[in-house]
Structure 1
Amino acid sequence: MKKYYAFLFLVLLRFSNSNGQSKFNLAPVSDHYKALQSISNMPNQQRAWMDTIKYPPAEYGTSIVYLIVKPYYLSDAQVKELSESVRFPANSSDQVRKELDYLLELQNKRTPEQIKRVEFLGDIGYWPSVNMVPSHTSYAHNLQDLFFEGRELLGDNVNSKNFPKISKLLQGVMQDMRIMEFTIKYKLLRPRPYHLEPMLKPLTKINSPSFASGHTLWAFIQAYTWSEIVPEKQPQFIALAEEIRRSREIMGIHYPSDNEASRQVAYKMLQYYFQNAAFNKDLREAILEWKKQSGE
Structure 2
Amino acid sequence: MATMAVASVLNKSVANKSVLNKASLNKNKNKNKNKNKNKSTMDGASLGVSQLIPSFELRRLHQQPSRNAYAAARRFTWEMLDIVPPPGPDYTRLETTVLLSMQRRDRERVRRLPDIQIESTISVAEFTRALHIEDLGGFEQTEGLFQAILTACEYVGLIYKSQFNRLRPNQFEPMLRPLLAVPAHESYPSNHSFQCFSIAFAFSTILPEHPATDELARIAQNVAENREWAGLHYPSDTQAGRDLARRFAPYLHDAFGPLFQAVHDEWV
**TM-score, normalised via structure 1 length:** 0.61
Structure 2 segments unaligned to the other structure (5+ residues): 1-51, 63-73
Residue 282 of structure 1 is aligned with which of 242, 252, 259? 259
**Residue 76 and residue 167 in structure 1: after superposition, are their counterparts in 2 closer, same or farther (change >3 A)?**
farther
2:44 aligned partner? none
Q: Output one character per residue of 1:12-54: Cα deviation in whole Å (capped at 9) or x when no partner.
A: xxxxxxxxxxxxxxxxxxxxxxxxxxxxxxxxxxxxxxxxxxx
1:202 aligned partner? 178
Give 1:154 shift: 1.8
Residue 268 of structure 1 is aligned with which of 244, 247, 252? 247
**CA contact 2:130–2:212 (8 Å) conserved in 1:** no
**CA contact 2:127–2:216 (8 Å) conserved in 1:** yes
Structure 2 residue 87 is the aligned partner of structure 1 residue 108: no
1:245 aligned partner? 224
Give 1:199 shift: 1.1
Instruction: Give the letter aligned to residue 127 of structure 2.
Output: E
1:167 aligned partner? 143
Flag the structure with larger Rg.
1
**Residue 64 and residue 86 in structure 1: after superposition, are their counterparts in 2 closer, same or farther (change >3 A)?**
farther
**What CA distance in whole angstroms lies between the structure 1 residues aligned with 2:131 and 2:97?**
33
**What CA distance in whole angstroms lies between the structure 1 residues aligned with 2:265 and 2:87?**
43
**What CA distance in whole angstroms lies between the structure 2 residues aligned with 1:81 and 1:67?**
18
**CA contact 1:273–1:279 (8 Å) conserved in 2:** yes
Give 1:227 shift: 2.5
Q: Output one character per residue of 1:38-78: Cα deviation in whole Å (capped at 9) or x when no partner.
A: xxxxxxxxxxxxxxxxxxxxxxxxx9941441589xx8423
**CA contact 2:200–2:220 (8 Å) conserved in 1:** yes
Instruction: Give the letter aligned to residue 69 of structure 1.
Output: L
Instruction: Give the letter aligned to residue 183 of structure 1.
Output: I
**What CA distance in whole angstroms lies between the structure 2 residues aligned with 1:171 and 1:252?**
26
1:70-219 equivalences in 2 (<5 Å): 70=59, 76-82=75-81, 85-90=83-88, 92-93=89-90, 95-111=91-107, 112-122=110-120, 124-125=121-122, 145-158=123-136, 162-204=138-180, 205-219=182-196
Q: Output one character per residue of 1:103-141: Cα deviation in whole Å (capped at 9) or x when no partner.
A: 00111113221222322222x32xxxxxxxxxxxxxxxx
Give 1:153 shift: 4.0
**CA contact 2:83–2:240 (8 Å) conserved in 1:** no
For residue 243 of structure 1, give the secondary structure of its aligned residue in structure 2: helix
Instruction: Give the letter aligned to residue 202 of structure 1.
Output: P
RMSD (Å), alpha carbons: 2.5
Structure 2 residue 58 is the aligned partner of structure 1 residue 69: yes
**CA contact 2:149–2:252 (8 Å) conserved in 1:** no
1:35-74 equivalences in 2 (<5 Å): 65-70=54-59
**What CA distance in whole angstroms lies between the structure 2 residues aligned with 1:220 and 1:67?**
24
**CA contact 1:217–1:262 (8 Å) conserved in 2:** yes
For residue 252 of structure 1, give the secondary structure of its aligned residue in structure 2: coil
**What CA distance in whole angstroms lies between the structure 1 residues aligned with 2:75 and 2:176?**
37
